[in-house]
Structure 1
Amino acid sequence: MVLYIKDFMIRNMTSVSDCDTLEYAIELMQKAQMNVLPVVDNENIYLGSIYSRNLLKNILPEEYGYLESVRLLHNVNQAANNLHEIRRKLVKDYMSKKVIALKDSDEMKHVAEIMLKNKESVLFITNKIGRLRGYINRGDLLYYLLKAGE
């Protein structure tokens, strides 16, 4: 039995425009509890994604990971100051444009291949003309695998 993405994808989602500010995108990420948001134009054409990890890499004073406890407060303050300086910049300057999007008519087996190969926790789904339709996450992938095994 062939199973399609449109039967597993989540259709309700939050997106941002490439002309929105980083501040707005960060607020939406927090409200939607998402680490990545799709970026669309005014016709809902998928343009790319804005990742929280990319924003963090841009504002942390040194590569994040283990920080010495005596330096932690200084680094947090520096990151907050750096973010304050760029918060009004536009999403288009920080978004990833080379992001794989799948079509809602694609088979679900492609999700596993792409998600695991690219270490993505979320893949965005478009229709045949590139309009954003939804997303698939790892939980949806697990559900598909459960159903495929029946």
Structure 2
Amino acid sequence: MHLVKDYMMRTLNSVCTTDDVEDVIRLMHKTEMSVLPVVDWENNFLGTIYSKNILKNVLPEQYGFLETRRLLHEVNQAAENLADIKTRDVTDYMSRRKLTVREDDKMNNVADIMLDNEESYLFVVNEEEKLRGYISRADLLFYLLEVGEE
């Protein structure tokens, strides 16, 4: 039986609700992660903060096509918008949807959850809802590779 705890990554960075947007952006850049878990001081999983949630609040055209002649103006506007919100708390932009898996869940359930919800990462919690790690699509692929070799 293949369990999440056999494939999950245990090392990860998280942010707290008291962290601000600038801290989140810097951590996302440093860790090369576009989504981070949000926890309280006791490591209880509260939700997630996605780079796209921040971007949609600063980009004037929200992922729309930018004309070349307007690009400089749009980038400057986005930078100004970000300057206005960078000191705001994570709670203003986090998703409180707690889409998680447990350490002892079966791996064959992970694919359904991940693909049905278009998630690249699922955060892993224990029975007490404490954050324990994450599982990615790459981990899912490795699991499938091992199953095929059995």
1:145 alignment partner AA: L
Aligned partner of 2:25 in structure 1 is 26
Deviations 1:31-72 (A, max 9, x none): 111000000000000000000011100101122132111111
Classify the secondary structure of the residue corresponding to 1:72: helix
**Mapped partners of 2:139, 2:82: distance in 1:** 33
Segments of structure 1 that go 5 or more residues without pairing to the other structure are none
**Mapped partners of 1:128, 1:110: distance in 2:** 17
Aligned partner of 2:49 in structure 1 is 50
Segments of structure 2 that go 5 or more residues without pairing to the other structure are none
Deviation at 1:15, TM superposition (A): 0.3
Q: CA RMSD for the aligned pairs? A: 0.8
TM-score, with normalisation over the residues of structure 2?
Answer: 0.97
Q: What aligned pairs does 1:55-134 form with structure 2 within 5 A after superposition?
A: 55-134=54-133
**Mapped partners of 2:132, 2:74: distance in 1:** 39
* Greater CA drift, 109-118 or 82-91: 109-118
2:34 alignment partner AA: N
Number of matched pairs:
149
Runs of 4+ in 1 over 2 A off after TM superposition: none
Percent of paired sites with the same residue? 54
Residue 55 of structure 2 contacts residue 62 of structure 2 at CA under 8 Å; is this kept in 1?
no
Classify the secondary structure of the residue corresponding to 1:11: coil
Classify the secondary structure of the residue corresponding to 1:28: helix
